[in-house]
Amino acid sequence: MMTLREAITDAIRKKVAVGHFNISNLEGFWAVFRAAQKLGVPVIIGASEGERDFIGVKQVAALVKSVREEFNYPVYLNADHTYSFEKVKEAIDAGFDAVIYDGAKLSLEENTAATKKCVEYARQCGRDVLVEAELGFIGQSSKILDAVPEGVGLSGDALTKPEVAAKFVKETGIDLFAPSVGNFHGMVKDSGAVKKIDDVRVSEIFKATEVPLVLHGGSGTSDEEFLAAIKSGIAIVHINTELRVAYRKGLTLSLQEMPDEIAPYKYLKGALLAMQKVVEEKLKLFNNL
C-alpha cells in the first residue's frame, strides 16, 4: 500500500488532488472512509486541535490505523491546524501520518523558527511524518459566516507571495505548503459569495516552492475554481464546513422522521449518509471521476 507521500506524488502526476475531510466523531469517520472506499481513491482524515480533544488523540490514531490495516486501504490521518510544538509532538507520538503547524498569525521569523522545530522533531521520530505549514491569513473558523471576513479572500492583504513562500519552504524544510490564494475557512450565507481562487498565484507558488500545495477552506468553492486550482498545483483540498452542515441537516431530518426513536445508531445514520454524499461528490471532482 502506498504511503501518504506516495499518494500525494501520484496525485500531482495525474493532476488530481487528494481529498482531506475533517471529522469530529465516528459517523464522520465512516462517512469519509466509505465514500473513498466506494470510489477506490486515497483519502486523508483531518482532526484539528478541538476535534482531537473531543475524539481523543490516541483514539483517532488507533481508529485510522485499525481500519487501514483491516481493509489494506490508503486512508491517512492528519493533525489539522496545530498551534504549538507541544501539540505537534503529541500528534506525531500518537501515530499521525501528517501534522500542520499553523503559525500564520506569527511574524515570518517566529513562524519559520517554530515550523523548523516541528520539522526537526518529525525527522527523528522514526517514521515518515509529513509536516505542513502556511503563510498568509485565511481565517480560523469552519462555520457559516454572515459575510466574508475582513482580510481574507482575493481582496485580503495577506495573500501569499511566491518569493516569500520559496524562502520559507527552503528554510523550514517542510513537506507541504498551504498558501493564501483567495481561500478562507468557513462558508458565507450569501449563496452568491462564491470563493474565488487565484490559480495564477497558485501556479507561481508551486513553481517557486517545488513542494505539494494544500488548499484550506475548500467548502463553498465552485467546481470550476477547484479544477483550476488543482490544475495549477494544488495537491490536497480540505473540506470541513460542508460536512458539518450536512451532518446537522441529516440529523435534523432523521429526528423529524423518527421522533420517538432513542437508538443513536438508527437516527445518526441519516447524518452519516448526508456526509458521505458530500464526500463522494468532492472526491469524484478532485479525482476526475
CA distance 55 to 25: 6
Q: Indicate which residue of 10, 53, 80, 199 is catalytic.
A: 80
**Are 236 and 44 within 8 A, CB to CB?**
yes
Residue 21, H or E segment: strand 18-22
- Say if residue 53 is exposed, middle or buried (CB neighbours under 10 Å; 0-12, 13-18, 19+): exposed
The beta-strand segments (E) located in 38-193 are 43-47, 75-82, 98-101, 130-135, 144-145, 176-179, 187-188
Half-sphere exposure of 132 (CA within 13 A, CB side): 26
Task: Provide the β-strand partners of residue 34.
Answer: none
**144 — alpha (psi -120 to 50), left (phi > 0) or beta?**
beta
Closest listed residue to residue 174, CA positions, set 132, 144, 126: 132
80 is catalytic: yes
Label each residue of 104-145 as H, E or C: CCCCHHHHHHHHHHHHHHHHCCCCCCEEEEEECCCCCCCCEE
Catalytic residues: 80
